[in-house]
Amino acid sequence: MATHFWGDTAVLTGRTMRHVTRSLDTIITTAITPVAMMLLFVYVFGGAIDTGTVSYVNYMLPGILLITIASGISYTAFRLFADMQGGIFERFQSMPIARSGVLWAHVLTSLVANVISLVVVVGVALLMGFRSGAGVLAWLAVAGILILVTLSLTWMAVVPGLTAKTVDGASAFSYPLIFLPFISSAFVPTDTMPGPVRAFAEHQPVTSIVNTIRALFTQQPVGTDIWIALAWCVGILIVAYIFATVSYRRRIS
């Protein structure tokens, strides 16, 4: 049964990956847009923001990486919605394939596509002056956190992809996720914010994730931020996975 599941998932993942590579707008949205934002913040706003001894490109890169993921997972919802409307799911039900493999194919495609986008963004950041003395273990920890964030948000994207009534509704859920880093420590220190905004910024998931990645890049102690970040990611992943699987069963029943 396990071999059957993984084989079917691999075939279905290949199908969805081909759709991604043929869609130029997907590549532009998930990679070029965050790069454009990074250029804007560093070269236009960066000189007006005091980040101490840390260069602004180093300071804001973790937030840009999260925006890259949030932008990318909207296409997961879009692709799922397109499959639902195109009758692909009904066609798959008539075939001897693992039903859960359909969802996992979209999730794995999102993971691969987002990893590619993240590598592009980091590459551009290096050209812009980003430098890190982090060792291999720290880079692996950053990669692990970003993968966990991608999986969490991707399973969240599955729900509107399965339940939305319109294509706009399927992808619009990602807009608040893209906006959330702006009300966090991603671009400016939270101690510069007014009281209520600062309270929200310091207690939402993006800040703990950004602070953890930033500390790993700069070889600073991560403190309790890493545990808070992991708790947020795992909690979101579990809840999103449950809602996604329930929604999927209802749609195919």
Give the tens place of pLDDT for each residue, 216-237: 999 998 889 999 999 999 999 9
Mean pLDDT of the chain: 84
Residue 140 has pLDDT above 70, yes or no: yes
* pLDDT > 80? residue 87: no
Q: How far apart are CA 154 and CA 174, in angstroms?
A: 10
* Buried-exposed string 32-67: b where 16+ CB fall within 10 A, e elsewhere: ebbbebbeebbeeebeeeeeeeebbbbbbbbbbbbb
Q: What is the pLDDT of residues 19-71, one digit of tens each?
A: 666 666 666 677 788 899 899 988 888 777 777 778 889 999 999 999 999 98
Cβ contacts of residue 45 below 8 Å, gap of 6+?
Answer: none
d(C-alpha 86, C-alpha 237), whole Å: 28
pTM score, whole prediction: 0.89
CB neighbour list of residue 197: distance below 8 Å, 6 or more residues apart: 183
Per-residue burial over 177-202, b if 16 or more Cβ lie within 10 Å, else e, is: bbebbebbbbbbebeebeeeebeebe
pLDDT at 1: 44
d(CA 49, CA 59): 10
State the pLDDT at residue 98.
Answer: 57
For the CA atoms of 95, 101, 106, 110, the dihedral, rounded to the nearest 10 degrees, stands at -150
